Chains A and B, each alone.
Chain A
Amino acid sequence: MHINGVEIEDTFAEAFGMWGSRLIVTGDDLGWARTAAEAATGFATSIIGCGCEAGTNDLASGEQTPDGRPGVAALVFTTSRKNMEAALLQRVGQAVMTCATSACYNGLAADEKVRIGGKLRYFGDGFQRSKLLDGRRLWRVPVMDGEFVVEESFGVARAVGGGNFFMMARSLSAALAAARAAVAAMRAVPGAIMPFPGGVVRSGSKISSRYKGQNVSSNTPYCPTLRGQEDSSLKEGENAVLEIVVDGLSEAAVAEAMRVGIAAACLPGVTRISAGNYGGSLGQFHFALRDLVST
């Protein structure tokens, strides 16, 4: 199968069950809201080294923030509910509360919840106040620019992490152009984020290493500089590979993000679109590339 002359390989991306939360971060203007959300989702590229994966997402079309101010959604993914509580406490406490004019609300209706504002409120040193509005408890923590408003609890729900696809290209510039186009399209999908810098990862990994104690190492079959030294998965004329990893609040969100991303990435200079998997035996979710793009 080809799109615009780009081969779509007959393979699938293998993704895993995770836990997801959605925060709505607001500020006096969109700039401050985005600053707070990006700070909270910074250094959250991979569960392995960061404890969570996170990214920002525009609000859904027509979605109002609880306080009516400009806002941005921040999606956070972890491997367990308990890890989510730890991650949100750190990130809301250190990155959102510290950001001028910010406020933080739950953006995910879910049965399971983790207490975040209910713990961060102690920063108020006894002067915190709460309001119960429409069944949601809001904490008002005194800070130097007024008050930091944070919701008592945040919803946590089962989610999907690790959707992915590779873009093989004749040149790095062609790979970058494809990646930029793909990420721009994928960012418009509600409930999905690309946790790596700029939404793109260049240091794809394999789960083995020649060094003791090192669990993962560079994805050598896809490194163009190693062609000739190692078994290569690259074809003749392929000189750069970039990967996009997708986490989503639902299987449908990941599938939709991959679909629009692949379609946007099929640009001149791109030779193939492929995906990473472990033979299908590890991940609960399989996203067949050809099925995605033919829907």
Chain B
Amino acid sequence: MGCIACAALVFDGASVTLTRKESSSIPVEADSICPDRFVGCGQTEIAELPAYYGRRKVTLGDLFEVDGYGADNVIVSGDLKAVKKIGQGMTHGRITVTGDVGPHLGASMSGGEIVAEGAAGDWVGAHMSGGRIVVKGDAGHFVGAAYSGETRGMRGGTIIVGGNAGREVGGRMRRGLIVVLGDTGEFAGAGMLAGSVFVGGRLGGRPGAGMKRGTIVAFGEAPELLPTFRYACSYRPVFLSCYLQSLAATGLVESSALPDGEFRLYVGDMNSGGRGEVLIRDQSE
């Protein structure tokens, strides 16, 4: 597994800090924790924004200590494992989650940045179309994927997971980049329409099943591919070097975590047109 450089977070100007009052396993829906919702709000108004605690409608102030004002920098701390939808639909600003966080982090976001210092639940960045999510720990299933019944998942932006991720990373994604520095579960890139999924660790079984286009890159160990993928050639993809340069420039990914080199190119899934590609790094280099 690679690592994410621990760049210190720099905050300019005002910030809002939300601290969970108590630990609970009861799910909380907190899509109101979003810089867009905090625009023009003072501390009191933020505390009055709605949330769901189980099926009960509450306010953020019922669940969190609210401190500060302003919309650009939001810091959320405390027990957040059961808190869902933080940063959902955000268009700008920054959210920092100081520990582990629940599902749907940054779902449908179109701009700004979310940094989770710990692990994140399922559906990180589902349907996102822009911005960046950085999860320094592990992520659950369906990172950047499409919700059930939807035809397209992630449509833009970047998700970087420092640890491992679960099943169906990038399922039906349409555009954007997902980087998992650790291992992934099965069906990474299943049904991909376009976009890129990079896996630094072990790529789970059946990657790219049903993919139409798009790119899955295995920098580490890779499974035997489905029989509907065909070997094309071994080469050094120049476009991949562009991605690696760009990622290195963010300071979030060390170059040793995703090493450049010679890759075996497989095209598929032939059941879905065969315009997708799986690149597997030649480990003999």
Contacts and interface: CB of A to CB of B under 8 A. Distances in A.
- The DSSP consensus for interface residues of chain B is mixed
A66 interface: yes
B235 A133 contact: no
Q: Chain B, interface size: which category?
A: 20 to 34
Interface in A60-100: 64-69
A241 interface: no
Interface in B235-271: 235-239, 241-246, 260
A134 B238 contact: no
B213 interface: yes
A138 B246 contact: no
A134 B245 CA distance: 11
Contacts of A64: 245
B237 A147 contact: yes
B175 A133 contact: no
B245 A66 contact: yes
B272 to A, nearest CB: 15
A149 to B, nearest CB: 5
Contact of A132 (B175, B233, B236, B238): B175
A132 B236 CA distance: 19
B246, B260, B275: which has the most chain A beta carbons within 10 Å? B246
Contacts of A147: 235, 237-239
Contact of A69 (B177, B196, B215, B238): B238
Interface string A113-150: 00000000000000001011110001010000011010
B238 A146 contact: yes
14 contacts: A26-B238, A65-B245, A67-B238, A68-B244, A69-B241, A129-B277, A133-B242, A138-B239, A146-B233, A146-B236, A147-B235, A147-B237, A147-B239, A149-B242
Interface of B: 156, 175, 177, 196, 213, 215, 233, 235-239, 241-246, 260, 275, 277
Interface of A: 26, 64-69, 103, 129, 131-134, 138, 140, 146-147, 149
